[in-house]
Amino acid sequence: MTRLLTIVLVLLASSWAGAESLSERPALSKLKPEAQVLVQTWLNTNCGAAEQRVFENQLIAIGSVAEPAFWEAFRLGPTEQEMNTLSAAVAKRYGDRQSWLRQFGDAQMGKEETARQLAIRERQYADREIKQFTERYKTTALAGLGLIGTQQSEAELKRIADDGTDPAQTSAQEALKGMGRQRNR
């Protein structure tokens, strides 16, 4: 039940964030509203295997029409609204984390590790969380391309996959594998 409630809240937040960010995302704004919500939900949801398969099937059903929106998401990263939402959530998580460490840290992790974790400043914690979110967002965009991408996307994904200096290299390689699986269906 909690997982379902979380998904519903993400869908609502995604559609609200979409309304705020369409002007900064022209490719996304060209999609039908239900496709916009699906793309944004895909980019912002970290779900289990069964739920992911449902999303994958929905993306496959809308097809390559979402391809420009995924490239846009990959190139631009999260929208300003998504970053604002994340920043608020990170601030709360940091406070909750610090509280938990003070209350249970010594017993769960030992005094040394607890002291090390408590020494992490909020800005350092937030920077790490934002970096991880941005990377996950971009790699999720590439995963979406692996499901619906065309030959044009395949060429760009190959370029990224062959670039050992690109942080998205592994994600591009996986997206290419996904495109191969889609062709073999």
- Give SS3 for 184: coil
Count of C-beta atoms within a 10 Å radius of residue 121 = 9
Amino acid, res. 9: L
Q: What string of DSSP letters covers 14-25?
A: HHHHHHHHGGG-
- Residue written as tokens 């496959």? 60
Predicted confidence pLDDT, tens digits, the chain (185 residues): 444 334 444 444 554 444 556 778 999 999 999 999 999 999 998 877 778 888 899 999 999 999 999 999 999 999 999 999 999 999 999 999 999 999 999 999 999 999 999 999 999 999 999 999 999 999 999 999 999 999 999 999 999 999 999 999 999 999 999 999 888 87
Asked if 80 and 21 touch (Cβ cutoff 8 Å), the reply is yes
Asked if 67 and 149 touch (Cβ cutoff 8 Å), the reply is yes
pLDDT recorded at residue 20: 52
What residue spans define the domains of the chain?
Answer: 2-183
- Residue 64 per-residue DSSP state: G
